[in-house]
A and B are shown apart, each in its own frame.
Chain A
Amino acid sequence: MPGPPTGYSPDLERVEIELLLEGVYRQYGFDFRSYAYASIRRRLWKRVEAEGLRNLSELQARVLHDTDTMERLLLDLSVNVTAMFRDPLFYVSFREKVIPLLRTYPFIRVWHAGCSTGEEVYSMAILLEESGLYDRARIYATDINDVVLQQARRGIFPLERMQEYTENYIKAGGSRSFSECYTAKYDGALFDQRLVRNVVFAQHNLVTDRSFSEFNVIFCRNVLIYFDKNLQNQVHSLFYDSLVRFGILCLGSKESLKFSKYDACYERLDTSEKIYRKVR
């Protein structure tokens, strides 16, 4: 497992990490200074090892002087593991609790914040298509990282994961044949490009960029877990301002508004899944 050699001082390590993140921010404008410490620490050490370096100070020097290293580090720090219909029961609940509310709108704007390589954007598009709502919906899928957005646009996902995704799709209440959504090509599954006809992929940084529209649904699952408490509150403020009255906020199954300042502004629509409605 990547990490410091035995006996490395945690205090020194913290100094090095703070200096490195400060340097990255001032040199490149990417602000990771308020990311959750334990996780960013792991990722930085992984990069130290991958670059064949000995410690975090050496990584700082290389990142500041070499933009290629910075790009690799950016991928480490921003890419999160995702899957189609991740947490299938969330989609069951979304179908039951949210879709009926969305039917009352003539036009539906969805912001998928932190969409990574796009698996869950395609999942949402499939769900909206099956509900007959997709033609009046627009999904704004954003991520801090342009490389993953390009992947998301291409819509090619690893073929070896299709069995898992098919199982997820069925557990998520899917009513069709999942294999009709993609074409197997070489070792990839190319998803039907009609699924992204109403998706706008765009770069957006949750830490430094502002709201860019008003939405009926904000979908941000397992993204805020990488932020510390203060930054989470800052992003919740952004989401609150970006939601219409009675707009829907979807968080990951193990995320909660309970530990934020915005708990009182929303009501839970589901007892198990983290689907909230803005009420004040």
Chain B
Amino acid sequence: MKRSTGRSDDAAAARVAYEIIVVGTSWGGLAALRAIVGALPPEFDIPMVVVQHRHRDSDALLARFLQDHTRLRVCEVEDKQTVEPGRVFIAPANYHLLVERGYFSLSTEAPVRYSRPSIDVAMTSAAVAYGFHAVGVVLTGANEDGAAGLRHIAANGGLAVVQEPESAEVDTMPRAALEAVPTARVFALERLADFLGSLPSAHAPARRPG
């Protein structure tokens, strides 16, 4: 039976195996992403998607930067790339990233709320494709992108997580996300990696349900 809200006490979370995590951030995101990705254990195997607002001409610098801080494999997504465990997937600049069941699609449709990639677009597609196996995480940022996407993840039974606004470099984005999903789990930045690392993964054979 699907859970109907984003709330997940630890007992409920333990029964659900997660298949994808979508992390969204803008202003202040670089430091926050480094803190989280850098602290994930090397055996972490839930595919993690990172949507970071940046200039349309940005190259693969973000992927290289994060790769320097983790043993997980970091890459910029190409169209129709397979969703694989143990990897961090970066949404390329100037494209929307859409999550399909098992793979990614890219799109050059118009920016949403001035953003491309849009966190809302990525999270909503993950909610549709993965339902209660999806996790959305909204971090620091100076706009309200991510709030609608996180609401979709929660509405489809997935897990909503928000960086504690007081610990965010800019709190606009986490506050908007919390307003959209008041039941979201809230963590200070330094505790987020631990929490994500503790989530049951659908890819870990020992924990695979059924």
Q: Once the chains bind, are A10 and B156 in contact (CB under 8 Å)? A: yes
Q: In the assembled complex, which residues on chain B have CB atoms less than 8 Å from the CB atom of A253?
A: 92
Interface pair B78/A38, CB less than 8 Å apart: no
How many cross-chain pairs have Cβ atoms below 8 Å apart between A and B?
Answer: 89
Contact residues in B for A7 (Cβ distance below 8 Å): 4, 155
- Interface size, B (range): 35 or more
Kindly state the interface size class of chain A when it binds its partner. 20 to 34
Please encode chain A, from 43 to 59, with 1 for each CB lying within 8 Å of some chain B CB and 0 for all others.
Answer: 10000000000000000
If A39-B105, A81-B108, A225-B105 touch, whether A258 touches B100 (CB-CB below 8 Å) is no
Are A232 and B155 in contact (CB-based, < 8 A)?
no
Partner of B98, one of A39, A80, A82, A222: A39
Q: Closest residue to A35 on the B side, CB-wise? A: B105
- A266 interfacial by beta-carbon distance below 8 Å: no
Establish whether residues A229 and B103, one from each chain, have CB atoms under 8 Å apart when the complex forms.
Answer: yes
User: Is A199 close to B, CB under 8 A?
Assistant: no
CB of B79 within 8 A of CB of A10, answer no
A41 to B155, CA, bound (A): 17
Closest to A13 in B: B128
Find chain B residues with CB under 8 A from A41 CB.
Answer: 125, 128
How far apart are the CA atoms of A42 and B95 in the complex, in Å?
Answer: 15
For chain A, what secondary structure do more than half of its interface residues adopt (helix, strand, loop), or is it mixed?
Answer: loop
A43's nearest neighbour on chain B, judged by CB, is B109
Question: Is B31 in the interface zone, CB < 8 Å from A?
Answer: no
Contacts of B107 in A (CB 8 A): 36, 39, 225-226
| Complex alpha-carbon distance, A224 and B106, angstroms | 10
- The contact sample of 30 A-B pairs, CB cut-off 8 A, is A1-B112, A1-B121, A3-B148, A3-B152, A6-B152, A7-B4, A38-B99, A38-B100, A38-B125, A38-B128, A41-B128, A42-B98, A80-B109, A81-B110, A82-B108, A222-B106, A225-B106, A225-B107, A226-B105, A229-B80, A252-B79, A253-B92, A254-B78, A254-B79, A254-B95, A254-B106, A259-B78, A259-B79, A259-B80, A259-B82
Binding site for A on B (CB under 8 A): 4, 76-82, 92, 95-96, 98-100, 103, 105-110, 112-113, 120-121, 124-125, 127-129, 131, 148, 151-152, 155-156
Interface of A with B (CB < 8 Å)? 1, 3, 6-7, 10, 13, 36-39, 41-43, 80-82, 222, 224-226, 229, 232, 252-256, 258-260
